[in-house]
């Protein structure tokens, strides 16, 4: 199975490449719209700010949206957030949101101060809410997170798994840690599976197998 990692200038491509190769995939990287449209499967990684990510991917946006109609696509961390409709991160005084790819309906918002330490950084567990091949065998497992913003989905069944966060605070926030579109071919993980040990490798293998069978 050949998987193309989308290179838009943000994200640790080397770690993601190694993780996918351990999961049994043949991996290449691309920033060419034509190659994105023709890929067998895609991974959209990312570390950084939402607006910067969307700007970096601006020349690839149409290709990503077109490919997502019938191609397995996995967004990781910032890449997951970019799959959403919009984000409040980077919104100016006159705007209430920065537009995302719109592949999963929802909004990215910042953790409130009441949860304690922000960013959410470190290991946390998943609670699987809806069946999907990518989360087979990982309910309750620990994954590695680094983020100050989180996704909220508009349709309940678009949240495949949830995670709760509250660092030494009375209030916790439950957020979507794995999302998927209605068809199920566009998936996002707020955590970094490539940095999450055996559980992360299991998820990447699940994605490779899902993409092979799609």
The catalytic residues are 77, 192, 194
Task: Give yes or no for a contact between 200 and 193, defined as CB atoms under 8 angstroms apart.
Answer: yes
Report the distance separating Cα 123 and Cα 34, nearest Å: 37
Report the distance separating Cα 29 and Cα 14, nearest Å: 10
**70 to 65, 85, 211: CA distances (angstroms):** 10, 19, 11
Residue with tokens 């490449």, as numbered in its chain: 17
Residue ranges with strand state E in the chain: 2-6, 26-30, 42-44, 73-76, 84-87, 98-99, 104-110, 120-125, 127-128, 142-147, 149-153, 159-165, 173-180, 186-189
Report the distance separating Cα 98 and Cα 100, nearest Å: 7
């Amino acid at each position: 199975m050949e998987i193309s990692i989308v290179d838009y200038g943000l994200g640790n491509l080397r770690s993601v490449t190694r993780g996918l190769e351990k999961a049994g995939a043949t991996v290449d990287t691309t920033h060419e719209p034509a190659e994105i449209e023709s890929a067998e499967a895609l991974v959209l990684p990312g570390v950084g700010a939402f607006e910067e990510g969307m700007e970096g991917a601006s020349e690839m946006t149409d290709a990503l949206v077109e490919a997502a109609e019938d191609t397995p696509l996995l967004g990781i961390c910032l890449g997951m957030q970019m799959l959403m409709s919009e984000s409040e991160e980077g919104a100016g005084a006159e705007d209430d949101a920065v537009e995302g790819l719109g592949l999963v309906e929802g909004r990215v918002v910042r953790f409130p101060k009441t949860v304690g330490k922000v960013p959410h950084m470190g290991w946390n567990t998943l609670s699987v809410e809806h069946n999907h091949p990518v989360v087979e065998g990982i309910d309750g497992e620990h994954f590695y997170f680094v983020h100050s913003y989180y996704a909220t989905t508009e349709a309940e069944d678009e949240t495949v798994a949830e995670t709760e966060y509250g660092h030494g605070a009375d209030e916790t926030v439950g957020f979507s840690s794995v999302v998927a579109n209605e068809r199920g071919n566009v998936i996002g993980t707020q955590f970094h599976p490539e940095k999450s040990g055996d559980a992360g490798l299991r998820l990447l293998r699940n994605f490779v197998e899902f993409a092979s069978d799609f």
